[in-house]
C-alpha cells in the first residue's frame, strides 16, 4: 500500500507486451512502428489491461531487434520519432493505460558511440573501462581470455584490431558493460531520468542476471555432458547472478524513489527479466524491498502440462515471494519463447521429464493445436486468477501458434544464424499480427503508404494467418479474444481497493 492508502497499480496489473516491430505498421513499409501502436490503443484498451510494455524502440542496427541499443535516448527512424513517443504516452494515459519502456543494461550495440570510442581508444583507457576489454591468453594473446560460452552460441570473446578481446554475453554485436565503472552508472541514471521525464511509467529491465561478473573473470568449471550450446551460458556462475549487480539495482531503486518523491502522483515500476528456473529463492534476490518492484516468474511458463508441476510452480513462487512481502509477476508468453498453444499441443507436453523449457530448437511435428488451445485457455484462466500481476504477449489473445515454416533466408534471429540453425530462434513467435482477413495489407498489419504501396512484412506471415484475425475474433463469443476479454473483465470486478490513474 502507498502512503495514501491505495494499492500500487502494478501489484496486480495486467500488462500487455508489444513487440514493436510486429504489432502494427502505420507507414506501409512492412515494419511495425509507434504510430501503428497509437492507432491501436482502443484495441489494447478493450482488452481490459492496465499497461503496455514496448520492446526497445531505440536506434539500433537491429542485430538483435533492438536489444542492441545504439542510443538510449532517441527513437529508431524505422519506428518513428521522439514526438511519436510523446503522442503514444499521451494516448495511453488518456485511455487509463500506463506505458513501460524496455531498458537494456547488460550491453549496448557495438555501434553505440561509447563502444566505438572504446575501439578507437588504447588498452587501459577510460573509454575501454566501460566494457570488458582484456588481453588474450597464449604466446601472442591469440586465445580468448577465458572459456565462457555466449548465450546465443560461440565464445563471449571477440578480438579487436589491436589484439585485445572484448566480452559480449549474447552476440558479438552486443558488448557487455562493466558496471564497476562509475561512468556506466552515471549514464544510466540519465537514461532513466530522460524517459521518466517524458512520462514513461516504468521499465522492463533486460537480462539482469548477466549484469555483474566475477572479478578476474575466471574460467568456468567444465560443463556436464549433454549441455547444449545455447544452454551452456546459463551454467556460468561467474557470469550470472553475481552479487555486485545488486548494488546497481539498489541504486536504480533510489533513483526511481527520488523521482516519485519529486513528482507526487507518479508511481513507477521496475520489472526485472531474471531467468532463475525453478529457483524462486534466487528470484527473491531481485525483489528485495530496495531493489526491483517486480521480477517475472517464468516457472509457470516453463512448466509442463502436468498438474503437480504447475501446482509447484505457483505454490513455490507465491510462498517464497509473499513470505518476503514481494509482488508476484506471472507470464505465459513473451518474444523469446515458443507460443503457448504450440508448446502445450506437443505430444510430450504432459511428460514432466522431457519438457525443454522455451524449446528454442524444437520444431513443429505432431503438434495438436486444438489440444494446445484448450490447455492454453485453462492455464491462462489460472494465471488471471492467482494473486500477482500478469504480463501478456501480443497475439496470445488471438491464440496465435508458433510459426515454423519460415525460409532460412528470411529468418532474422541471430540465434538461428550463430548456431548454424541448431537453435531455430525466436522468429516464429514474432510474426506480424493479423488484424483482418485482407491479404493485400498483410492481414491488416500494414496501412498502405501514401502512394498506396504495401511493403512485404519483415517476417513472412502464413497464408492462413487471416484465420486468426482480431476483427473476426472480436465478433465471435467463442474466440480466444473474447475469452481474454471475459477473463480481464472478471479480474477487474474483484479489485479493491482502488488503483490510481496514470498522471
With beta carbons less than 8 A apart as the criterion, state whether 25 and 446 touch: yes
Which of 208/367 has CB closer to ligand GLC? 208
Q: How many residues bind ligand GLC (CB under 6 A)?
A: 9
Q: How far is the CB of 174 from ligand GLC (least distance, A)?
A: 6
**DSSP character for 427?**
G
Does 203 participate in binding ligand GLC (rule CB under 6 A)? no
Q: How many CB atoms lie within 10 A of CB 3?
A: 5
Out of 201, 206, 229, 285, which one is annotated catalytic? 206
Cβ-count burial 417-444 (b if 16+ within 10 Å, e if not): bbbeeebbbbbbbbbbbbbbeeeebbbb
List strand residue ranges (DSSP E) for 182-321, in order. Answer: 202-205, 269-272, 294-297
**Residue 496 CB, nearest approach to ligand GLC (Å):** 34
In the complex with ligand GLC, the residue whose CB is nearer, 43 or 298, is 298
> Which one, 34 or 103, has the nearer CB to ligand GLC?
103
Asked whether position 100 contacts ligand GLC by CB under 6 A, the answer is: no
Among 97, 207, 220, 469, binds ligand GLC (CB under 6 A): 207
Measured from the CB atom, the residue of 206 and 397 that comes closer to ligand GLC is: 206
Look up 273 and say whether it is catalytic.
yes
Chain CA centroid to CA 18, Å? 9
245 versus 470: smaller Cβ distance to ligand GLC: 245
Q: Which is nearer to ligand GLC, 107 or 293 (CB)?
A: 107
| Range 392-431, binding ligand GLC (CB under 6 A) | none
> Smallest distance from the beta carbon of 64 to ligand GLC, in angstroms?
5
**CA nearest to 88, candidates 32, 47, 13:** 32
**CA 307, chain centre distance (Å):** 27
Nearest approach in angstroms of CB 200 to ligand GLC is 18
Q: Please identify, using beta-carbon distances, which residue of 206 and 267 lies nearer to ligand GLC.
A: 206
Residue with smaller CB distance to ligand GLC, 38 or 419 = 419
- Rg, C-alpha atoms of the chain: 22
Secondary structure class of 157 (helix, strand, coil)? strand
Q: How far is the CB of 334 from ligand GLC (least distance, A)?
A: 7
Between residues 377 and 430, which has the closer beta carbon with respect to ligand GLC? 430
Q: Considering 273, 291, 412, 427, which one is annotated as catalytic?
A: 273
Cα separation of 355 and 304, whole Å?
A: 6
Q: From residue 270 to residue 289, what is the string marking binding to ligand GLC with x (rule CB under 6 A)? A: ---x----------------
Between β-strands 389-393 and 294-297, what pairing exists: parallel, antiparallel or unpaired?
unpaired
Q: Which residues of 97-131 are buried (b: 16+ CB within 10 A; e: fewer)?
A: bbbbbbbbbbbbbbbbebbeebbebeeeeebbbbb
Report if residue 206 touches ligand GLC, rule: CB under 6 A.
yes
Considering the rule CB under 6 A, would residue 104 count as an interface residue with ligand GLC?
yes
User: Which is it for strands 202-205 and 14-18: parallel, antiparallel or unpaired?
Assistant: unpaired
Catalytic annotation on 351?
A: no
CB of 321 to ligand GLC, least distance (A): 21
Going by their DSSP bridges, the two strands 14-18 and 389-393 should be labelled as parallel
**Which has the closest alpha carbon to 48: 429, 431, 392, 294?**
392
- Per CB under 6 A, contacts with ligand GLC among 317-336 are 335-336
State in Å, rounded, how far the first CA of the chain is from the last one. Answer: 18
Rounded to 5 degrees, what angle do the CA atoms 435, 439, 440 make? Answer: 110
Minimum CB–partner distance for residue 70 and ligand GLC (Å): 13
The size of the chain, in residues, is 503
Site for ligand GLC in 165-194 (CB under 6 A): 170
Beta carbon of residue 331, minimum distance to ligand GLC (angstroms, whole number): 11
Q: Which residue is nearest to ligand GLC (CB)?
A: 67
Applying CB under 6 A, which of residues 19, 57, 67, 458 lies at the interface with ligand GLC?
67
Max CA-CA distance within the chain? 70
By C-alpha distance, which of 403, 400, 426, 428 is closest to 413?
A: 426
The Cα 110–Cα 92 span in angstroms is 33
Which of 64, 176, 201, 397 touches ligand GLC by CB under 6 A?
A: 64
∠ Cα 416 419 424 (to 5°): 35
Tell which positions 28-47 bind ligand GLC, by CB under 6 A. Answer: none
Site mask for ligand GLC (CB under 6 A), range 148-167, x = bound = --------------------
Quote the least distance from Cβ 177 to ligand GLC, whole Å: 12
- Catalytic positions, written as ranges: 206, 273
What are the residues binding ligand GLC (CB under 6 A)? Answer: 64, 67, 104, 170, 206-207, 273, 335-336
Amino acid at each position: 500500500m502507498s502512503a495514501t492508502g491505495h494499492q500500487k497499480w502494478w501489484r496486480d496489473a495486467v500488462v500487455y507486451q508489444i513487440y514493436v516491430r510486429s504489432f502494427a505498421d502505420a507507414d506501409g513499409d512492412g515494419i511495425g512502428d509507434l504510430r501503428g501502436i497509437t492507432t491501436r490503443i482502443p484495441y489494447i484498451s478493450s482488452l481490459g489491461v492496465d499497461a503496455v510494455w514496448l520492446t526497445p524502440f531505440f536506434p539500433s542496427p537491429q542485430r538483435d531487434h533492438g536489444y542492441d541499443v545504439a542510443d538510449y535516448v532517441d527513437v529508431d527512424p524505422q519506428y518513428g520519432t521522439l514526438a511519436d513517443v510523446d503522442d503514444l504516452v499521451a494516448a495511453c494515459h488518456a485511455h487509463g493505460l500506463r506505458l513501460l519502456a524496455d531498458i537494456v543494461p547488460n550491453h549496448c550495440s557495438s555501434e553505440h558511440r561509447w563502444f566505438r570510442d572504446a575501439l578507437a581508444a588504447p588498452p587501459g583507457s577510460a573509454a575501454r573501462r566501460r566494457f570488458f576489454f582484456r588481453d588474450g591468453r597464449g604466446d601472442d594473446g591469440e586465445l580468448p581470455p577465458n572459456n565462457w560460452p555466449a548465450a546465443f552460441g560461440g565464445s563471449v570473446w571477440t578480438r579487436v584490431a589491436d589484439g585485445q578481446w572484448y566480452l559480449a554475453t549474447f552476440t558479438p554485436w552486443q558488448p557487455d558493460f562493466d558496471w564497476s565503472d562509475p561512468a556506466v552508472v552515471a549514464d544510466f541514471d540519465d537514461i532513466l531520468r530522460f524517459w521518466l521525464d517524458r512520462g514513461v511509467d516504468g521499465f522492463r529491465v533486460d537480462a539482469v542476471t548477466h549484469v555483474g561478473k566475477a572479478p578476474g573473470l575466471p574460467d568456468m568449471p567444465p560443463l556436464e555432458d549433454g549441455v547444449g550450446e545455447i544452454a551452456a551460458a546459463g551454467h556460468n556462475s561467474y557470469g550470472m547472478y553475481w552479487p555486485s549487480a545488486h548494488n546497481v539495482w539498489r541504486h536504480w531503486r533510489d533513483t526511481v524513489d527520488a523521482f516519485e518523491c519529486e513528482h507526487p502522483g507518479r508511481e513507477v515500476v521496475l520489472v526485472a527479466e531474471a531467468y532463475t528456473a525453478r529457483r524462486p529463492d534466487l528470484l527473491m534476490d531481485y525483489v528485495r524491498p530496495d531493489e526491483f518492484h517486480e521480477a517475472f516468474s517464468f516457472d509457470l511458463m516453463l512448466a509442463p502440462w502436468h498438474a503437480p508441476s504447475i501446482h509447484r510452480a505457483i505454490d513455490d513462487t507465491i510462498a517464497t515471494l509473499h513470505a518476503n512481502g514481494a509482488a508476484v509477476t506471472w507470464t505465459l508468453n513473451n518474444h523469446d519463447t515458443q507460443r503457448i498453444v504450440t508448446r502445450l499441443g506437443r505430444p510430450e507436453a504432459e511428460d514432466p521429464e522431457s519438457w525443454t523449457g522455451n524449446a528454442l530448437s524444437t520444431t513443429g511435428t505432431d503438434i495438436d493445436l486444438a489440444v494446445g488451445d484448450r490447455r492454453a485457455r485453462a492455464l491462462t484462466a489460472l494465471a488471471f486468477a492467482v494473486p500477482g500481476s500478469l504480463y501478456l504477449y501480443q497475439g496470445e489473445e488471438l491464440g496465435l501458434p508458433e510459426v515454423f515454416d519460415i525460409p532460412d533466408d528470411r529468418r532474422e534471429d541471430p540465434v538461428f544464424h550463430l548456431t548454424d540453425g541448431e537453435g531455430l530462434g525466436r522468429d516464429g513467435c514474432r510474426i506480424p499480427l493479423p488484424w483482418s482477413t485482407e491479404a493485400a495489407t498483410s492481414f491488416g498489419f500494414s496501412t498502405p503508404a501514401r502512394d498506396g504501396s504495401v511493403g512485404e512484412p519483415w517476417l513472412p506471415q502464413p497464408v492462413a494467418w487471416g484465420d486468426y484475425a482480431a476483427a473476426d475474433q472480436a465478433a465471435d463469443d467463442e474466440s480466444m479474444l473474447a475469452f481474454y476479454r471475459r477473463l480481464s473483465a472478471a479480474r477487474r470486478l474483484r479489485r479493491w481497493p482502488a488503483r490510481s490513474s496514470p498522471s
